[in-house]
Structure 1
């Protein structure tokens, strides 16, 4: 099946994009935390809290059927959930 017609190809690209965005957020967070002080402490605490919240949100979706019934749908919705959260962090951390 050509890539354009394979639905897993789009999910793969979305996951790759998530990885690229996550890498940029890691870099931005590293800079924020490395600067030290109260803002760095707050960012580290926020990072941990966000990771726990995102994992809980994904588990809730899985248990309630919010991820769908097929592996493709579940994967796509999970990637979408994390991309939305990573994108929000990238925007927040990129502001001066």
Structure 2
């Protein structure tokens, strides 16, 4: 049981660090302005609304905290990869 809490805590910490990297990449892009920044701003808002809705549905259907965190981490990691290719 204790190991489960440790893993959840570590995954939450990793999510926080990975999200900070994505925030840095997005702020850098947004500060440059232009059409790409506009598209990214719209994408960011849409993704956040969809991710929150998905998390609510997962929780309502009985998914574990670990599954919700894992789902968010996949999205954050995909954004980090996509933004690093620009």
Which category describes the TM-score, using the shorter chain as reference length? over 0.9
How many residue pairs match? The answer is 86
CA distance in 2, matches of 1:76, 1:58: 11
CA distance in 2, matches of 1:90, 1:76: 21
Preserved contact between residue 59 and residue 68 of structure 2 (Cα < 8 Å): no
5+ long unaligned stretches in structure 1: 68-73
CA distance in 2, matches of 1:6, 1:38: 47
CA distance in 2, matches of 1:15, 1:62: 16
Please list every run of at least 4 consecutive aligned residues from structure 1 whose deviation after the TM superposition is greater than 6 angstroms: none
Q: Does 1:93 align with 2:83?
A: yes
2:11 matched to which residue of 1? 14
Q: Does 1:34 align with 2:31?
A: yes
Quick one: which of 31, 41, 58 aligns to 1:61? 58
5+ long unaligned stretches in structure 2: none
CA distance in 2, matches of 1:31, 1:20: 17
Of 24-33 and 53-62, deviating more is 53-62
Larger Rg: 1
CA distance in 2, matches of 1:78, 1:26: 20
